Amino acid sequence: MQRVFTKHPGNPVLRPADLGAGIMYVLNPGAIKHQGEYLLLMDAATLPTPIVLWLARSRDGIHFIPDPGPVQNWPRWSADVCENCIYDPRITRIGDRYVIMYASQAPGRGVRTGVVATRDFTTYERIPQEETGQDNRNSVLFPEPINGWYVRFDRPMTGETDPGDMCISYSRDLRHWEGTKNLMTPRPGCWDSHKIGGGAVPIRTDRGWLCLYHGVDRTCNGFIYRLGVMLLDLEDPSKILARSPQPVLWPEQTYEFNGRVPNVTFACNALLEDDGTVKVYYGAADTCIGLAEAKLADLLDACAAPNPHLTAFYGPP
């Protein structure tokens, strides 16, 4: 199988020990370039188990220095609801503001999409969300309004391990979301056969929105998390132009096989560099963070590449 992404030879680029005593796991960062630095907004699992968000900074995109402690000044969900676990942030720059969508858990409420904005990664502003009564995760905001609407991916869910589709929703104000519809469903017998969800903020290209997503395959002794790509129409992102038949990143190293959750490569970011390279900082086995790189052109080609293994097995389509 052709490897579209190349993993950095120095992986993992961040380990729990890099954050100091009291951190068991570090994983699933949002990533952005801000004022000449690469910023990773990471999940950090503390000894009492709750996950907090923690920043790490780098000039070269490889060697990161974590902040002395977790993010401060994170706004409360509301006056009467206090989050007890926040994780898996995706960071979208819109104008001079960064909008962070993340998974928010609170006692007795389940998991919802939380939305917070910042301009400097020092102070944060809550964007309250209309209560839906529905658990939701893996929300990813597009980097610009489309036809006057903010657009995001969603993954409404029941149980943590239940099958799940990937949805798309629309909003005028980033608070009230409507028009939710199924965008994509798992494919029986494939690497994304059990559940799927949004990964990175979509990248605008001449051929469409390039979107990184995760797919889960259920095996006889557990799950495998891999990454794939798809291409969406620029004016109507609910229209899929192409979807990769094969994964573009998958577990194959010891640090991806062994950890808090084995057999996981999971991404919440994709950064396009000026030379056409796409950097992805991914959670490995829910324990540490790896770096992988690919060319934008290769990712676009992967969306519609044929799968010779399926063709040989099932015959031509």
pLDDT for 311 equals 47
Report pTM: 0.94
Contact assessment for residue 217 and residue 226, using Cβ atoms and an 8 Å cutoff: yes
| Structure-token pair, residue 221 | 């002794």
Examine residue 317 and state whether it is found in any structural domain, yes or no. no
Contact assessment for residue 213 and residue 227, using Cβ atoms and an 8 Å cutoff: yes
CATH number for the domain that contains residue 242: 2.115.10.20
Hey, which residues does 279 pair with through a beta bridge? Answer: 271, 293
Hey, which residues does 262 pair with through a beta bridge? Answer: none
Contacts of 230 (CB under 8 A, 6+ apart): 184, 210, 211, 213, 240, 241, 242, 243, 244, 303
pLDDT for 264 equals 98
pLDDT for 304 equals 86
Examine residue 157 and state whether it is found in any structural domain, yes or no. yes
Closest to 287 measured CA to CA, from 104, 8, 14: 14
C-beta atoms surrounding 144 within 10 Å: 13
Amino acid of residue 16: P
H or E element in which residue 134 lies: none
Examine residue 80 and state whether it is found in any structural domain, yes or no. yes
Examine residue 316 and state whether it is found in any structural domain, yes or no. no
**What is the longest distance spanned by two Cα atoms in the chain?**
59
Contact assessment for residue 224 and residue 167, using Cβ atoms and an 8 Å cutoff: no
pLDDT for 2 equals 65
Examine residue 85 and state whether it is found in any structural domain, yes or no. yes
| Structure-token pair, residue 51 | 């996950």
Hey, which residues does 285 pair with through a beta bridge? Answer: none
Q: Alpha carbon of 107 to those of 80, 81, 111, 157, 276: distances in Å?
A: 11, 8, 9, 17, 44
pLDDT for 260 equals 94
pLDDT for 205 equals 98
Q: Exposed, middle or buried: residue 160 (CB in 10 Å: 0-12, 13-18, 19+)?
A: exposed
Closest to 225 measured CA to CA, from 199, 246, 251, 198: 251
**Digitized pLDDT (tens) for each residue of the chain, 317 residues in all:** 567 999 999 999 999 999 998 999 999 999 999 999 999 999 999 988 789 999 999 999 999 999 999 999 999 999 899 999 999 999 999 999 999 999 999 998 899 999 999 999 999 999 999 999 999 999 999 999 999 999 999 998 766 666 679 999 999 999 999 999 999 999 999 999 999 999 999 999 999 999 999 999 988 788 999 999 999 999 999 999 999 999 999 999 999 999 999 999 999 999 999 999 999 999 999 999 999 999 999 999 999 877 655 544 444 43
Examine residue 253 and state whether it is found in any structural domain, yes or no. yes
Domain range spanning residue 66?
6-311
Contact assessment for residue 224 and residue 251, using Cβ atoms and an 8 Å cutoff: yes
Examine residue 55 and state whether it is found in any structural domain, yes or no. yes
pLDDT for 157 equals 77
Q: Please tell me the distance from the alpha carbon of residue 139 to that of residue 89, in angstroms, as a whole number.
A: 9
List the 150-156 sheet strands across, edge first: 136-141, 150-156, 166-171, 178-184
Number of domains the chain contains: 1
Examine residue 60 and state whether it is found in any structural domain, yes or no. yes
Long-range contacts from 123-132, C-beta under 8 angstroms, 24+ separation: 123/73, 124/71, 124/73, 124/74, 124/75, 124/100, 125/75, 126/75, 126/76, 126/77, 127/99, 127/174, 127/175, 128/78, 128/175, 129/175, 129/177, 130/175, 130/176, 130/177, 132/177
Q: Please tell me the distance from the alpha carbon of residue 140 to that of residue 268, in angstroms, as a whole number.
A: 8
| Structure-token pair, residue 87 | 């994780």
Contact assessment for residue 263 and residue 248, using Cβ atoms and an 8 Å cutoff: no
